[in-house]
A = this chain, B = another copy of it.
Amino acid sequence: MTDLKNKILAAVGEDLKVIEQALAENLNPHFNLVSQVARHILFAGGKRLRPLLMVLGARLCGYSGDHTARFSTIFEYLHAATLLHDDLIDGADMRRGRQVANQLWDNSTAVLTGDFLLARGLSIAADTGLCEVIQTIARITENMSQGEIRQLEKKGDLTLSEDDYLEVIRCKTAVLFEGACRTGALVADAKPAAVQALTDYGYHLGLAFQMADDLLDYTQDIASLGKHAGADLRERKLTLPLIHALSRAPKADRQCMIAIFEKRDFSETEFASLVEMLNRHGGIAYTEARAMAHVQQAKTALSPFADSPTREILMDIADYARVRKT
C-alpha cells in the first residue's frame, strides 16, 4: 500500500509541484483576510488529487500545452470552497488535523471565503474559453450544492437507503472527480469517445474514493485521519457501512446500533462496539466490495486508451483510492 503510494508520488512529483505553484499564483487575492483563510484551507496537506486528475486526463489525451496547471486549480478551489461551507454546516471541529476555519475565524468569514474560492474557480473556467468546460463546472456546482442539501435533509434519517446514499456521494464527490477528468479531455480537444471514457473513469473513481473515505471514518484512528474517527456518526450521517449493517442485523443488534447512532456523545467503548457490529453484519466488507467494484469499473473505463505511463498512473490511482489509509 505504501509502495503504491510512493510509486504514484514519484510519477507525479513534478506535476504536484507545478499544481502547488499554480494554486498560490491563481489565488492572487486582493484582500488580506480572504488570503489568510483561503490559504488555511488550501495549504493544509491536501492531496491535490482533483487537479492532478485533470492534468493527467489532458496528458492521456495528448495535450502538451502549458495551461493545464492553471486550469487544474479550478477543481481544488471548488473542493476547498465546499469544505469551508461543509465544516460550518457539519459543526465539525477539525479538518486535516487543523481547527476548522469557521472556528478559527467565524462563520461569516468562512462563508465569504468559500464564495470567493468558488468564484475564483469559475473565473478560471471562463478563461479556458471552452463552453463545454464551463458547462461542466456549472453542473458540478449545482450537483454539489444539491448533494449537500440532500445530506443535510437526511441527517439522522435511519430510513436512508443505499440508493439515497449513492445519490448523495455522486453529487458531493463523484461529479467533481468526473468533471476534473472530463475537463482534462476537453482541454486536450479529445474525441467524444475519449471524453466519455475519462468522464466514466472519474465518476467511478469518485464513488470508490468516497466509499473508502466513509470506511476510514469507522476504521481509522484520529492521528492518521486528521479528524475524529466516528465524525460521520457524530454528525448523524448515515453512510454505507451502517446502512448495510442495519439492513442485515437481527433486531437486537439493529436496536443497539440505532441507540448508539441516536446518541450525540457516544463513548469510545460504544463506538468500538458499533464498529464490531458493522464488521459482524457485513457493513465493512460490503462497502469494501462496492468500492472495489467501482475501482474496477474506473480501470475498465480506461481500456480505450493505449498503454502509456500516464494510463498506468491513472490505473494506480484507482487502486490507491480503495486502499488508502488517509
Interface positions of A (Cβ within 8 A of B): 30-34, 85, 88-89, 107-109, 111-113, 115-116, 118-120, 122-123, 125-127, 129, 131, 134-135, 137-139, 141-142, 144-146, 148-150, 152-153
Could you tell me if B134 and A126 are in contact, using CB atoms closer than 8 angstroms? Answer: yes
Q: Report if A88-B111 is in contact (Cβ < 8 Å); known contacts: A122-B122, A122-B142.
A: yes
Could you tell me if B118 and A89 are in contact, using CB atoms closer than 8 angstroms? Answer: no
Specify which chain B residues have a CB less than 8 angstroms from the CB of A108 in the assembled complex.
Answer: 88-89, 152
Could you tell me if B112 and A141 are in contact, using CB atoms closer than 8 angstroms? Answer: no
Specify which chain B residues have a CB less than 8 angstroms from the CB of A148 in the assembled complex.
Answer: 112, 115
A46: min CB distance to chain B, Å: 20
Could you tell me if B126 and A129 are in contact, using CB atoms closer than 8 angstroms? Answer: no
Contact of A31 among B107, B131, B139, B146 (CB under 8 A): B146
Which secondary structure characterizes the binding site on chain A?
Answer: helix
Number of copies of this chain that the complex holds: 2
Q: Report if A149-B111 is in contact (Cβ < 8 Å); known contacts: A119-B141, A134-B131.
A: no
Could you tell me if B142 and A120 are in contact, using CB atoms closer than 8 angstroms? Answer: yes
Could you tell me if A150 and B111 are in contact, using CB atoms closer than 8 angstroms? Answer: no
A92: min CB distance to chain B, Å: 12
Could you tell me if A153 and B31 are in contact, using CB atoms closer than 8 angstroms? Answer: yes
Closest partner residue, chain B, to A91 (CB atom): B108
Candidate in A142, A144, A150 with the most chain B CB atoms within 10 angstroms: A142
List 7 additional A-B contacts (Cβ < 8 Å) besides A34-B146, A126-B131.
A112-B145, A115-B141, A122-B142, A123-B142, A126-B138, A127-B135, A131-B131
Candidate in A107, A131, A149 with the most chain B CB atoms within 10 angstroms: A149
Provide the bound-state CA to CA distance between A34 and B126, in Å. 27
Closest partner residue, chain B, to A85 (CB atom): B111
Provide the bound-state CA to CA distance between A152 and B105, in Å. 12
A191: min CB distance to chain B, Å: 21
Provide the bound-state CA to CA distance between A33 and B152, in Å. 10
Could you tell me if A146 and B30 are in contact, using CB atoms closer than 8 angstroms? Answer: yes
Candidate in A33, A108, A144 with the most chain B CB atoms within 10 angstroms: A108
Contact of A146 among B116, B137, B150, B152 (CB under 8 A): B116
Could you tell me if B88 and A149 are in contact, using CB atoms closer than 8 angstroms? Answer: no
Q: Report if A149-B33 is in contact (Cβ < 8 Å); known contacts: A111-B88, A126-B134, A139-B123.
A: yes
Specify which chain B residues have a CB less than 8 angstroms from the CB of A123 in the assembled complex.
Answer: 138-139, 141-142
Specify which chain B residues have a CB less than 8 angstroms from the CB of A125 in the assembled complex.
Answer: 138
Provide the bound-state CA to CA distance between A131 and B142, in Å. 19
A163: min CB distance to chain B, Å: 14
Provide the bound-state CA to CA distance between A85 and B138, in Å. 19
Could you tell me if A149 and B31 are in contact, using CB atoms closer than 8 angstroms? Answer: yes
Q: Report if A119-B131 is in contact (Cβ < 8 Å); known contacts: A107-B88, A108-B89.
A: no
Specify which chain B residues have a CB less than 8 angstroms from the CB of A89 in the assembled complex.
Answer: 107-108, 111-112
A291: min CB distance to chain B, Å: 26
Could you tell me if B126 and A145 are in contact, using CB atoms closer than 8 angstroms? Answer: no
Could you tell me if A107 and B109 are in contact, using CB atoms closer than 8 angstroms? Answer: no
Specify which chain B residues have a CB less than 8 angstroms from the CB of A34 in the assembled complex.
Answer: 146, 149
